[in-house]
Amino acid sequence: MDETNAKNILCVEDEPEMVDLIRLILARRGYNVQGASGGVEGIRLIRETHPDLVLLDLMMPDMDGWEVYQQMKADPVLRDIPVIVVTAKAQNIDKVLGLHIAKVDDYIAKPFSPQELMDSVDQVFKKK
């Protein structure tokens, strides 16, 4: 994959270590990963940069991922951007069920393996 075709992924996640880990894993596949440190910055960057994919953490202090997702889906310009939700295993199973109803593209549970993350991202881009 050359630089011009590299997909841009925005990782909306309030833990910088997690953003670094995701960037490390996906850079090997040639993806450009940008981090947003919370929901408020996330939705701003989504509007500014129109990424090819959003990796969205649900639990963030300023604006949770659910709110970011709803704002994206309410915006005709952003609603077609695929979203993979990243959530801690035991967290809010009802939210995860809600995500299935809401038609997110995929979700992965933390802690995840590098392979799980890459498979999920590759799968979403294959569907497009």
Per-residue pLDDT tens over the stretch 100-116: 666 788 888 888 999 99
Q: Percentage of the chain surpassing pLDDT 90?
A: 66
Tokens of 77: 């310009």
pTM for the whole thing? Answer: 0.89
pLDDT in tens, 53-66: 999 998 888 998 88
Question: Total structural domains in the chain?
Answer: 1
Which of 29, 98, 90, 16 has its CA nearest to residue 60? 16
Neighbours of 106 (CB within 10 A): 18
In terms of phi and psi (left: phi > 0; alpha: psi -120 to 50; beta: otherwise), the region of 92 is left
**So what's the pLDDT on residue 1?**
42
pLDDT in tens, 67-90: 999 999 999 999 999 999 888 765
The CATH number for 82's domain is 3.40.50.2300
Tokens of 112: 């995840």
The C-alpha atoms of residue 42 and residue 11 are separated, in whole angstroms, by: 8
Containing structural domain, residue 29: 3-127
